Chains A and B, each alone.
Chain A
Amino acid sequence: DGGITQSPKYLFRKEGQNVTLSCEQNLNHDAMYWYRQDPGQGLRLIYYSQIVNDFQKGDIAEGYSVSREKKESFPLTVTSAQKNPTAFYLCASKGYWDRDTNTEAFFGQGTRLTVV
């Protein structure tokens, strides 16, 4: 089945530790996105990538890093510089119907990161 997979579902991080969240899609989508969601809040954009080997910062990129070496994969690293990383992280991918219209974005089921 086509879809987008995030892993792990739950992740615990110790103070000062880097952790990497996985996001894989088999929808052949060009664009991929990472969002952070805090309780009772909307989705805030961390990083996005429209093509392999290229990515841009979103609104809250500080303390995070990404790579896009393959079309299917867009891993997110939460570094020790992110002072308040406890949150729900969502990955999405999106395609294009043509130059002026986008398809809807498909989401993974999320990773819940907790600092211990």
Chain B
Amino acid sequence: EDQVTQSPEALRLQEGESSSLNCSYTVSGLRGLFWYRQDPGKGPEFLFTLYSAGEEKEKERLKATLTKKESFLHITAPKPEDSATYLCASSGNTGKLIFGQGTTLQVKP
């Protein structure tokens, strides 16, 4: 059964304090591993897609990496505007798009 688990559930950082979010996944025939950002009361906003182990993507202070069992979202020198819930999702050969529970990040100035 396809499954996605994210940790930690919540993370509090000081501005400039780098950290990483974890996404563990089990999926039959990976067709894509996706990271999204969600602000309260809004739909998720796409950040990255990763397709194969060893792949990395970067955008401003965010960097996503992928292994055969996990993906990490690294946040370097975060700012208060990076505060949001970060969601990980996997898509496999069943056609399902399965999301983890999310990590709620709070960055304090």
- A residues in contact (CB < 8 Å) with B: 31, 33, 35, 40-45, 48, 50, 56, 58, 88, 90, 92, 94, 100-110, 112
Give the A-binding residues of B (Cβ under 8 A).
6, 29, 31-32, 34, 41-46, 49, 51, 87, 89, 91, 95-102, 104
Quote the shortest CB–CB distance from B91 to chain A (angstroms): 5
* Nearest CB of chain A from residue B43's CB, rounded to whole Å: 4
**Contacting pair B44 A107 (CB below 8 A):** yes
B99 engages A43 (CB within 8 Å): yes
Tell me the smallest distance from the CB of A55 to a CB of chain B, in Å.
10
Residue of A35, A44, A45, A102 near B31 (CB, 8 A) is: A102
Q: Quick one: given A42-B102, A102-B31, are A48 and B95 in contact (CB under 8 Å)?
A: yes
Structural contact, B42 and A110, CB atoms closer than 8 A: yes
14 A-B residue pairs with Cβ-Cβ distance under 8 Å, sorted by A, are: A35-B99, A42-B99, A42-B101, A43-B89, A45-B98, A48-B96, A50-B95, A90-B43, A94-B97, A101-B51, A102-B31, A104-B49, A105-B89, A107-B43
